[in-house]
Structure 1
Amino acid sequence: MVTSNPSPAYVARISAVWADNGSGVRGDLKAVVRAILLDTEARTVPTGAGAGKLREPVLRFLQWGRTFGVTSATGLWNIGDTTNPANRLGQSPLRSPTVFNFFRPGYVPPSSQLG
């Protein structure tokens, strides 16, 4: 949710909350989400080339439109087929093939702790 490459210590802290929320309850999703978002590592300003959260092309494209205030004269957003990797984004919104979204399961961003 907050970083593409969490440290092993961060993963261990979140896993510990899943195993025991502090009241002896295992699998308390509310406590896990709270731990993910409020952990020191999640709230620290990221530094370095590999820090932060990598966004897939569709999200980068949408952010570009928001940044430059793109509007539609008709109110419709007909972008066309975005799935063709030869001349488009190579993916389509809400159609990720796996739980890893559009990234391969073993993908590690370059210049990261793992890469």
Structure 2
Amino acid sequence: MARDTPVQNKAATTDAEPLPNLVTIVGRGVPSSFEITVDGEIEMDTNDPVEEATIVSGSVAEGSIDFGVQRFRFDGQVTNVHLVDWNGVPAPESASVPNVHVDYGVPER
């Protein structure tokens, strides 16, 4: 999991067209970690990804979640999603990992 590139966020690209696709991570009340990789660019759909404790580096986003929702806009295709619960048990062996929803061609809200 890369940690050496600055965080990118929605506020940094306000003049550009929004990325067309959306991935949503929904926590299930158990601390879990995630890593999402796309074959294009990815950015967190929030004004302050540092507050969310999420790192976005080019085509990879990684972070943790227990409750709530985190959203990322991206272009291209999702190439990998890696989820583990607080014990390090990966999906699908753990029923506690977050739900992931991927939607293509979603207009910006």
Normalized per residue, the structure richer in helix is 1
Under a length normalisation based on structure 2, what TM-score does the superposition of the two structures give? 0.19
- Structure (1 or 2) with the larger CA radius of gyration: 1
When normalised by structure 1's length, the TM-score is 0.19
Q: Which has the higher contact order (CA 8 A, sep 6+)?
A: 2
